[in-house]
Amino acid sequence: MNQLPADQTSSAGRRVRSAERVAAVLDALRHSSQPLRHADVARAVGLPKSSTSNLLDTLADVGLVTRDERGYSLGVKLIELGAAAAERLDIRGIARPVLRELAELGIGASNLAVLQGHSVLYIEKLNNPEHVIQIATRVGSAVPAHMTALGKVLVAALAPEERARWLREHTYTAMTPHTITSAGEFELALEFSAEHGYALDDQEQNMRTVCVAAPVTDHTGATVAAISLTCLSEDVRDDREPQISAVIKGAKQVSALLGG
């Protein structure tokens, strides 16, 4: 069996230096809004110009990088690789550790949901078993989107024309005295979500519960799901900021793992 050169072997936990260099070059190109000369890439990754030039030409030969008179940029083959990776991602498995951390805040249940037509579909949920009261949502259940923080986040992410149609066609049934019951009021909630990066449900789905949700984005920047933390209103009566911060942070962690 052929052995790799000394700087490319990986034993006893040692990194593969050539792979690190490839990753560094691709990352430098990713962060540039325009093609880079090989000297610029060499400076960015801290390699000799000759080594960088050879590396870039090799990456161009295999389609990971493109080159023209302006310099080097990311190749279209990376789009194929990214799409293939995205198809294989298990968003429930990726989100579960974050949901567990949220649930362990001690005051509620964490949820992962997607938009299914005019409803929010719960695809994962974790309860804090230590909490006296267990909040009754379940995986596979669907709830009208207008009465949830999750729905506000997910509908806010729709394209403008699709969102306008959604608002016109939706039925705004009241579940509690606090439920939003008009397209105009719901649109204001969507604007808040888009501006602040999270949404609230204050006893709109169930009396005595409040919920905060934030969007999960993928490698294209599209919102593909949302996570939330549902709490008893009496537990967060004085200050909701810790829950809001935790949910936003958790959503960003899941998004990062999806390439968002």
pLDDT tens, 122-169?
888 888 766 655 566 677 778 899 999 999 999 999 999 999 999 999
The CATH class given to the 6-85 domain equals: mainly alpha
pLDDT band for position 5 (cuts 50, 70, 90): very low
Tally of CA atoms within 13 A in the half-sphere of 37 that contains its CB:
4
Furthest CA-CA distance within the chain: 73
What pLDDT was estimated at residue 14?
62
Domain residues of the chain, as ranges?
A: 6-85, 89-257
Q: Is residue 99 within 8 Å of residue 112, measured between CB atoms?
A: yes
Q: What pLDDT was estimated at residue 8?
A: 42
Q: Is the pLDDT of residue 240 over 90?
A: no
pTM reported for the whole predicted model = 0.66
pLDDT for the residue 164: 92
**At residue 49, does pLDDT exceed 80?**
yes
Higher pLDDT, 120 or 138: 120
The fold adopted by the segment(s) 89-257 is Beta-Lactamase (3.30.450)
Which position has the higher pLDDT, 247 or 209? 247
- Is residue 112 a contact partner of residue 122, using CB atoms and an 8 Å limit? yes
123 burial (CB, 10 Å; 0-12 / 13-18 / 19+) is middle
pLDDT per position as a tens digit, 70-116: 888 888 888 777 666 655 568 888 888 998 888 887 567 889 999 88
* Predicted pLDDT at 190: 93
Evaluate whether 6-85 and 89-257 have a shared fold: no
